[in-house]
Amino acid sequence: MAGFLAKLKQVFSFSEIDEDFYDELEETLITSDIGVNTTEEILDELRELVREEKIKKPAECREALAELIKERMRPGEGAYDFENEPCVLLIVGVNGVGKTTSIAKLSNYYKERGKKVILAAADTFRAGAIEQLGMWAQRVGVDMIAHTEGSDPAAVVFDAVAAAKARGADMLICDTAGRLHNKKNLMEELKKIYRILEKEYSSARVETLLVLDGTTGQNALSQAREFAQASNVDGIILTKMEGTAKGGIGIAIESELKLDVKFIGTGEKPEDISKFDPNSYVDSIFAEPAEKEEEEVENKEEGESKEEGGFNWNNVT
């Protein structure tokens, strides 16, 4: 990423906005995970803006480009409407991307905001998945409904729906298995879960959130493509976005698949999640290298003091 920033700086230090400038910018964007199609679109928009606004200097272009990308990245209206009504969050994604951890984080996030959260351990496939979720449920202080390993995920969801209704939950968050290599099975499993939800919990809004590992670049994009075909993805949780790992992958997902990035995971602790903020995301990509370094030092200090304060496990029941 440091190489990308240095390159971007170099591009914007060109003396003129000419074809060389656009070529160099194009190459820089493509190598930052933004992808070919999105880069083309962005550059077309930029050329138009340069003409309209009579922008003369590459340095001014930087701001225009950042603004243009922020606009693309802004989650659509109603992106978080699910929060305001009884809802089911169905968390999908391949193994290892951070589904279970994100569920712990979302539980913590919404519990802190006064919501009653219940978990469904519907990843019954992966060894230890139920125990892992159970451990988080206990730490964060939310209830979890589980069956045994290997049991039918839809049956777990069925019971979890009954519990959510009986206990007056605001939000039921379902873990799921991540077997993308067997797409047909996965699709069938998800379909069955959707059917149960429709039939047993029609009063709740279903929000399917796809978890993607932000460090995996174009790979994350192809996972997003596959899942968008297999289920109704309503938004993305982009994980492992702490530190300098931030690439342009979020931009590609938003632009090429028209999927909103809704949450960003920035660590392994329950509080390491936030709603996606296009301004800070894009600014961190486009910051001058010097600014960027300062920002990182600041973040690090913040991180350290957070670490000291720590998540108080004694507060959870």
**Contact residues for ligand GDP, defined by CB under 6 A:** 93, 95-101, 178, 211, 239-240, 242, 265-268, 272
Annotate 119-132 with DSSP letters as a single string: EEEE--SSTTHHHH
Closer to ligand GDP by CB, 11 or 103: give it. 103
The nearer residue to ligand GDP, 99 or 205, going by C-beta atoms, is 99
Region from 53-61, 129-137, 203-211, 281-289 binding Mg ion, contact rule CB under 5 A: 129-137
Which residues lie across from 264 on neighbouring strands? 238, 274
What's the CA gap between 24 and 16, in Å, rounded?
12
Bridge partner residues of 175 (DSSP): 121
Compute φ and ψ for 58, nearest 5 degrees. -55, -35
Q: Catalogue the E-assigned strands of 214-251.
A: 235-239
Site residues for Mg ion, 156-175, by CB under 5 A, read none
Angle, CA of 253, 273 and 246, to the nearest 5°: 45
Mark 72-101 with x for binding to Mg ion (rule: CB under 5 A) and - for no binding. ---------------------------xx-
- The one-letter amino acid code at 126 reads R
Nearer to ligand GDP, 32 or 176 (CB): 176
One-letter identity of residue 255: S
CB of 251 to ligand GDP, least distance (A): 19
d(CA 199, CA 154): 12
Q: Which stretch, 52-60, 128-136, 181-189, 260-268, contacts Mg ion (CB under 5 A)? A: 128-136
| Range 305-317 burial, b when 16+ CB lie within 10 A, else e | eeeeeebeeeeee
Residue 105 as a binder of Mg ion (CB under 5 A): the answer is no
Nearer to Mg ion, 152 or 298 (CB): 152
We find the least distance from the C-beta atom of residue 117 to Mg ion, in angstroms, to be 17
Partner in contact with 268, chosen from ligand GDP, Mg ion, none, beta carbon below 5 to 8 Å by kind:
ligand GDP
| Shortest distance, position 231 Cβ to Mg ion, whole Å | 17
Distances (CA, A) of 278 to 54, 110, 113, 238, 284: 26, 21, 22, 13, 10
Q: How many CB atoms lie within 10 A of CB 16?
A: 10
239 binds, among ligand GDP, Mg ion, none (CB under 5 to 8 A by kind): ligand GDP
Choosing among Mg ion, ligand GDP, none, which partner's interface includes residue 97 (Cβ < 5 to 8 Å by kind)? ligand GDP
Q: List interacting residues with Mg ion (CB under 5 A).
A: 99-100, 129
